[in-house]
Amino acid sequence: MTRSRFDSLAPVDCHPLRGVIFDMDGVLTDTIEFHYQTWQRLADEEGIPFSRQANEALRGLSRRDSLLRILQGRVLPEATIQELLERKNRYFRSFIETMTADYLLPGVQVFLKDLREAGIKTAVASASQNVYIVIEKLGIASDIDVITNVYDVDRPKPAPDVFLYAAQQLGLGPEDCVVFEDAESGVEAARAAQMRVIGLGDAAQVGAADWVLPGLEGVRWHHIQAKLNPGV
């Protein structure tokens, strides 16, 4: 008999799960190419070296933290930093205005429907300030109970603040929630929040997660229950 990636699951925790918190980029949709092109344009305009490899290192970081990493210690006045951040965001917004439901990653719509039917609360907790417009463009706003980002809290990922805030807005405790993340900083943030976390994508980036899957395609809530809530 062919074994699936859901076979022989070792239990992680028996506390009942009542909420799912998603990161956005790399979990629900993938705007990494948009980010690369807009950061590359900004870097070219400012004469700063940049590459696709450098862009990959920005996964899960806020826009400001991304810029500071790109600057590699280069000190600029705060007014200049703000202008660069605003310019980058203008470039990025021009891309996301073209987004539709076609930009959803495989399995997302079916999994969200599954969660809704199971009575599971849902939130999106992103590093992106544009999370609200992206979720609207993707056509899934009605499937998400809470939308928030790191700009709503004091500290960005890898601090746990945005996940704790999302759980609070859902009316749940950390122990009630499982986080879906694709970035090392996000996995670290979820673990710091004392939440269970499922890593999606490259195990090298999300290996500290409780469970690593290639993506949401084919995933159902009963798979999550079997892994994290056996017997519940």
- Report, as residue numbers or ranges, the catalytic residues: 23, 25
Element (H, E) at 200: strand 196-200
Residue 204: its pLDDT value, please?
A: 87
Name the residue with higher pLDDT: 59 or 83: 83
> Whole-model pTM?
0.84
Report H helices in the chain. Answer: 32-46, 52-56, 63-71, 78-96, 108-118, 131-138, 161-170, 184-192, 203-206, 221-228
Structural domains in the chain plus CATH codes: 19-30+100-228 (3.40.50.1000), 32-96 (1.10.150.240)
Name the residue with higher pLDDT: 176 or 127: 176
**DSSP assignment string, 113-151:** HHHHHHT-EEEEEES-TTHHHHHHHHT-GGG-SEEEEGG
Point out which residues pair with 125 in neighbouring strands.
148
Instruction: Please write the tens of the pLDDT for every residue from 94-111.
Output: 999 999 999 999 999 999
Instruction: Evaluate if residue 146 carries a pLDDT over 80.
Output: yes
pLDDT band of 212, cuts 50, 70, 90:
very high
For residues 33-58, give the mean pLDDT: 92
Instruction: Evaluate if residue 156 carries a pLDDT over 60.
Output: yes
